[in-house]
Structure 1
Amino acid sequence: MKVPTMTVSSNTTFVVNRENLHEHSVLEQNPIQPGDLAEGEVLLAIDRFSFTANNITYAALGDAFHYWDFFPVEKPWGQIPVWGFADVAASRHPDVTEGTRIYGYLPMARQLRVQPGRVSKSGFTDVAAHRQDLPGIYNQYVFTANDPAYRPEHEAFQMLLRPLLVTSFLLDDFLAWQTFFEAEQVILTSASSKTALGLAFMLNHQRETRGGPRVLTALTSPGHAGFVRRLGYYDRVVPYDELETLDADQASVSVDFAGNGQVLGRLHEHFSDQLQFSSLVGASHWDQRGGGKGLPGPKPELFFAPKYWEQAAGEYGTAALMQRFAGLWAPLVASMEGWMTIRDVRGAEAVAQAYEDTLEGRINPDQGLTLTLAP
């Protein structure tokens, strides 16, 4: 086995307190060496990863959905999973070559040891024992050289948008499959979040061919209302404090990305039985999540994207599902390139600040963050 050139002096790892997300730390661990690998294992040198409100959702729901289990560390700490790029620094697997660039689910660290299985031209699945019972979509790693959607100059957009837009795509498919629950209006909370914007774009982009929904409504903070209006993805944009101005007699579907129990409660109180369906997706306002019990109208239902992916893949086939996603990916990225600014963040101290800013909602919706723990 060749001696890899991608070596590090420390496997710097960013961790948060699972019980108190405001508490975080940087662990300087001994680096994994090529000689530490068992037969069939591969060492990934993590290059860059994105960080958005979606990653805060992973942390907020870490125990309920086992997000802490992908990259376990000693409690009370946890590693928040992120999406990004890495290079194969060392390999003891005959079908995975050193220097190969991959895209996938990573820890906020500088290294990751994986056990590739089901290796194909397009990538591999990490079949490490502790990941066997976790959702398969998160265990798949893609070889960029054989990814038809990959463009080196668009790596930042892929990190930032593909994980979010897959959720947007699955929500779009789910709502269309349900014929929008016969509602005239679809209301998205936290409407400036990237996942909500992706869903709004897809619903709007396909509305003529589907014949619905008739109205797309954005609920957002007053400070983000102007930005959301300028994008033109929604028919109307309503600040949270004007929620009650919406027509309460209009049959509606709510898709809640905010996780704000107060806003959810106001939506249910206002529309009551005219709310045909209430979907819970993210937890952008993680510290205000909750609610849903004893509300008028339908009981809010949590949308878990990996589970729906498995259902849809069984219905359409994985290849067909990916082809449909690709058809929406290109126009949406082209649209978002026109308004999104990418900010690169380097080093443990800057990464910690970026985490705090995201946790507290201080990242502007027109900004995307890519991070590296390299000094």
Structure 2
Amino acid sequence: MSEFQTYKKDLTRSRLVETDKAQALADLKTGDILVEIERFAFTANNVTYGAAGDTIGYWKFFPATDNESGEWGCLPVWGFAEVTASKVDGLAVGERLYGYFPPADFLAMSPIKVSPLRFMDGAPHRAELPAVYNNYLLMSGEAHYDASTDNVRSLLNPLHVTSFCLCDALQSERYHGASQVVILSASSKTAIGLAQGLADEESRPKIIGVTSSPNRDFVASLGCYDEIICYDKLRDIDTSKATVMVDMAGNRAVLGALHEALGDNLQNCISVGMTHWETLADNDPLAAKINRQRSSFFFAPAHVQKRVGDWGQDGFNQQAGDFMKARMQQSAGWMTVETVADFEAFAEVYADVVVGKMNPNEGLIVLPK
């Protein structure tokens, strides 16, 4: 069996490590289960997990095997798995799960708070990590579950939870008084979900998508942006207007240029993703132009917890679920799903995805076996 690992200091580097499923089965204790991972999505979101791995703790969820140096890690992924061994009442062999997994063939888990709908992984090393990532949904308890949507769900749900939270946060703050929302990396799936959600609101600011020239026609075809501007024409942004910027990329040179041009008209710059992880250590002089006082990092799990407190778990699930259902339906018009059959095939395309070479209208699903 295999585990796909990433070199923490250079996210383009990867390796496959053999794992021992027989030993994992032998080590199962009362209260544990073993699941086989069926499929998982790999997107720019996973690159962000690597870029923020040490800061937020993403490397800690699934400690890498045979990693005495500590230089390798498992990038968490979202997908589906099946219970193949169980020592937990209420979780039968054959039960299917949706949630957070390592890029591997299997995972040993210690479920707690088991209900007909969900459970949490109570593994001790995960106790101090954000709780939203420790929740797993049981497909047997989901009304109207449709297995044909597994791939799209793996790809979009984790991203569109963030899109929903961003929409909600912007709306609750009345868009910080801005008359335009500038979304960087407008072709990213999280950005698309955000723009589609904002476009549904009648009393919202102008939505401007910033993207690369090769992606312009694709972004225009989505119909959710009021205006599209390419990175080589940033000067076309009307800097005289009060502006909120939502950054999905973390490119310091682009941020510095826009912060300088907008000046006091920048109401807030919300950083979400870090897909341009390679620029994080750059000494580009434009990085010095970033206004740190008007910048904030958006951590979706914290917003989820806040709204669960405000609305209750069922209330949050209802509102977020309605949002994501609408986005999933819209994705049928623009997204194609590409599958790779095993880890060897994944290794061949992995580095290209990390550096952003995948087409924005494609989604990658990995089938470990």
TM-score (norm. length: structure 1): 0.93
Aligned to 2:29: 38
1:234 aligns with 2:225: yes
3-state SS in 2 of match to 1:234: coil
Residues 341 and 366 of structure 2 are in contact (CA less than 8 Å); yes or no, is this contact kept in structure 1? yes
Count of residue correspondences: 360
CA distance in 2: counterparts of 1:49 and 1:330, whole angstroms? 19
Counterpart amino acid of residue 346 in structure 1: A
Q: How far apart are residue 22 of structure 1 and its match?
A: 2.3
1:101 aligns with 2:89: no
1:226-375 equivalences in 2 (<5 Å): 226-289=217-280, 295-296=290-291, 298-374=293-369
Counterpart amino acid of residue 107 in structure 1: P
1:220 aligns with 2:211: yes
CA distance in 1: counterparts of 2:191 and 2:321, whole angstroms? 18
Q: How far apart are residue 185 of structure 1 and its match?
A: 0.3
CA distance in 1: counterparts of 2:204 and 2:321, whole angstroms? 22
1:164-189 Cα distance to aligned partner (Å, 9 max, x none) = 00000001100001000010000100
Q: How far apart are residue 224 of structure 1 and its match?
A: 0.4
1:38-95 Cα distance to aligned partner (Å, 9 max, x none) = 1110000110000000000001110001000000122111000000000000001112
Aligned to 1:18: 8
Residues 275 and 298 of structure 1 are in contact (CA less than 8 Å); yes or no, is this contact kept in structure 2? no
Counterpart amino acid of residue 15 in structure 1: Q
Aligned to 1:5: none
1:12-161 equivalences in 2 (<5 Å): 12-32=2-22, 33-73=24-64, 74=67, 75-148=70-143, 150-161=145-156
Cα 1:116–1:182 change in 2 (3 A) is: same
Q: How far apart are residue 350 of structure 1 and its match?
A: 1.0
Counterpart amino acid of residue 123 in structure 2: A
Cα 1:190–1:329 change in 2 (3 A) is: same
Q: How far apart are residue 373 of structure 1 and its match?
A: 2.3
Q: How far apart are residue 257 of structure 1 and its match?
A: 0.2
CA distance in 1: counterparts of 2:294 and 2:219, whole angstroms? 28
Aligned to 1:197: 192
Residues 186 and 252 of structure 1 are in contact (CA less than 8 Å); yes or no, is this contact kept in structure 2? yes
Q: How far apart are residue 289 of structure 1 and its match?
A: 3.2
Q: How far apart are residue 352 of structure 1 and its match?
A: 0.9
CA distance in 2: counterparts of 1:69 and 1:293, whole angstroms? 32
Residues 256 and 289 of structure 2 are in contact (CA less than 8 Å); yes or no, is this contact kept in structure 1? no
Residues 13 and 351 of structure 2 are in contact (CA less than 8 Å); yes or no, is this contact kept in structure 1? no
Deviates more, 1:140-149 or 1:47-56: 140-149
Q: How far apart are residue 163 of structure 1 and its match?
A: 0.2
Residues 292 and 300 of structure 1 are in contact (CA less than 8 Å); yes or no, is this contact kept in structure 2? no
CA distance in 1: counterparts of 2:83 and 2:61, whole angstroms? 19
CA distance in 1: counterparts of 2:191 and 2:309, whole angstroms? 25
CA distance in 2: counterparts of 1:298 and 1:272, whole angstroms? 12
CA distance in 2: counterparts of 1:196 and 1:253, whole angstroms? 14
3-state SS in 2 of match to 1:64: helix
Deviates more, 1:323-332 or 1:297-306: 297-306
CA distance in 2: counterparts of 1:302 and 1:280, whole angstroms? 5
CA distance in 1: counterparts of 2:296 and 2:75, whole angstroms? 24
CA distance in 2: counterparts of 1:230 and 1:77, whole angstroms? 40
Deviates more, 1:18-27 or 1:153-162: 18-27
Residues 270 and 295 of structure 2 are in contact (CA less than 8 Å); yes or no, is this contact kept in structure 1? yes
Aligned to 1:3: none
3-state SS in 1 of match to 2:356: coil
Residues 273 and 297 of structure 1 are in contact (CA less than 8 Å); yes or no, is this contact kept in structure 2? no
CA distance in 2: counterparts of 1:76 and 1:332, whole angstroms? 37
Cα 1:42–1:296 change in 2 (3 A) is: closer
Q: 1:176 aligns with which of 171, 177, 199?
A: 171
Q: How far apart are residue 316 of structure 1 and its match?
A: 1.7
TM-score (norm. length: structure 2): 0.95
Q: How far apart are residue 286 of structure 1 and its match?
A: 1.7
Deviates more, 1:312-321 or 1:359-368: 312-321
Counterpart amino acid of residue 116 in structure 2: K
- The two structures, once aligned, show a CA RMSD in angstroms of 1.4
CA distance in 1: counterparts of 2:349 and 2:116, whole angstroms? 35
Gaps of 5+ in 2: none
CA distance in 2: counterparts of 1:103 and 1:327, whole angstroms? 18
Residues 34 and 84 of structure 2 are in contact (CA less than 8 Å); yes or no, is this contact kept in structure 1? yes
